[in-house]
């Protein structure tokens, strides 16, 4: 499988459209929300696709990602490495649940 490249931007938690992420944000201290954009192999932004949404808690290094379905959660080192793990190393992501 080809490595999926991405960029991400922090957004207000209120902008999350995933209900389970919004609900979880109320339960964790200082939640941070992010929106992920996948890049095409030529480096351009991939448009006309659903964008993964991320909720991250630096307290406990826990991250949830929703991408058109309910969120899946894992323990991560930081936001960027967590997104990369979710997109490019499914086995490791599942082991970190």
- Report pLDDT digits (tens) over 61-90: 999 999 988 899 999 999 999 999 999 999
pLDDT-derived band at 57, boundaries 50, 70, 90: very high
Report the C-alpha gap between 16 and 34 in whole angstroms. Answer: 8
pTM, 2 dp:
0.90
Q: 61 is in which domain, residue-wise?
A: 5-95
Give buried/exposed letters for 4-40 (b at 16+ CB in 10 A, else e).
eebeeeeeeeeebebebbbebbeebeebbbbbbebee
Tens-place pLDDT, residues 22-40: 999 999 989 999 999 998 8
Report the candidate in 7, 58, 59, 60 with the shortest Cα–Cα distance to residue 34: 7
Number of domains in the chain: 1
């Amino acid at each position: 499988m080809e490595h999926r490249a991405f960029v991400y931007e922090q957004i207000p938690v209120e902008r999350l459209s995933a209900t389970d992420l919004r609900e979880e944000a109320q339960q964790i201290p200082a939640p941070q929300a992010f929106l992920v954009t996948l890049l095409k192999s030529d480096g351009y932004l991939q448009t006309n696709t659903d964008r993964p949404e991320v909720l991250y808690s630096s307290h406990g290094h826990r991250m949830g990602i929703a991408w058109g379905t309910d969120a899946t959660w894992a323990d991560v080192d930081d936001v960027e490495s967590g997104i990369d793990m979710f997109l490019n190393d499914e086995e490791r992501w599942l082991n970190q649940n």
